[in-house]
Copies of this chain bind each other. A is one copy, B any other.
Amino acid sequence: MAEVELRHLRYFVTIAEEQSLTRAAARLHIAQPPLSAQLRKLETELGTTLVHRTARGAQLTEAGKVLLEEARRILHEVEQAGRMTREVGSGLVGRLALGFIPSASNAVLPPMLRRFKAEYPDVTLHLQEMRPDEIVDRLHDRRIDAGLFYLPFEDPALHVRPVAEESLLLALPATHRLTDRERVRLDEVSDEPFILPARHGSMPGLYAIVVEACERAGFTPRVVQRDVWLMQTIVGLVAGGMGVAVVPASMRSLQRAGAVFLTLSDVGERAQTAISWRRGSTPPVLRSFLDIVTGSSSGVGPDE
């Protein structure tokens, strides 16, 4: 005993619409006898007559009318299911969980989101601020699909790809002697008390960048405060006169009273924001997101 197939339903619906086996066969681009055979097969399978064959065409029986409605609905739903699957498969719809450090929300994240939303309006984005070490944990336990944080960082189980970079500025209290300058060298503030960004677990991040810049300028910073990790807090402490700090350029947009930002003429290091995601299978939505962010950013090439 054979099984009902969608072909049978498609044929049957066409027969019902044309009220004629001959015309239906023409519309289906097959000959009339095979159509007859398939219809008969369907009727045998269902154990009932579906179509009355008369001399001038075919018309549905009661059972046929019932099946027609059902068959139309089923065929429509198959089409829908195909479309949905296709869309999810292509990354057009779905759900993407993204963790990011708060600094990313200044300059890096907004254009990413704008472009992604424009391209994939039906993807639900779950955005969560978190610490960089938290991002790594959440990546590992699969609670987020991707994360944004400062380089340097590496993890054998994760892809890491730079997506944006910005220069570093010196943040000074407004009361400082150098505030009337536009550019300074880092070694000019070698004696100042420094506020350094926090290190998070095994993640060197911006801390490493700043320390390295100081090393290259020939001094070791005198640290008055560490373990402050929010950039805006650091700027706040600077404004409060606690000391100076090296911060990413996007901090300038904070426009906090009491702090001024100067270009560092002798610092080549730049703060690199990277996106990271699990190695292995890459869901289509994530693939789409990666396509957008690596295409839209000032980021450099891939890491592998």
| CB-based contact A119/B62 at 8 Å | yes
* Complexed CA–CA distance, A91 and B48 (Å): 9
| CB-based contact A81/B90 at 8 Å | no
Q: Mark A284-296, 1 if CB is under 8 A from B, else 0.
A: 1100100000000
Please name the residue on chain B nearest to A48 by beta carbon: B89
Size category of the binding interface on chain A: 35 or more
A52 cross-chain contacts in B, Cβ below 8 A: 121, 281
A61 cross-chain contacts in B, Cβ below 8 A: 89, 92, 119-120, 281, 283-284
Residues A86-121 near B (CB distance < 8 A) = 86, 88-94, 119-121
| CB-based contact B91/A62 at 8 Å | yes
User: Within the complex, what minimum Cβ distance (angstroms) separates A280 from chain B?
Assistant: 9
* Complexed CA–CA distance, A287 and B283 (Å): 55
Q: Mark A44-82, 1 if CB is under 8 A from B, else 0.
A: 011111101000000001111011001101100110111
- 10 A-B pairs in the complex with CB atoms less than 8 angstroms apart: A48-B90, A48-B92, A61-B89, A62-B119, A62-B285, A63-B86, A64-B85, A67-B81, A70-B84, A74-B78
Q: Which residues of A contact B (CB under 8 A)?
A: 3-7, 10, 45-50, 52, 61-64, 66-67, 70-71, 73-74, 77-78, 80-82, 84-86, 88-94, 119-122, 281, 283-285, 288
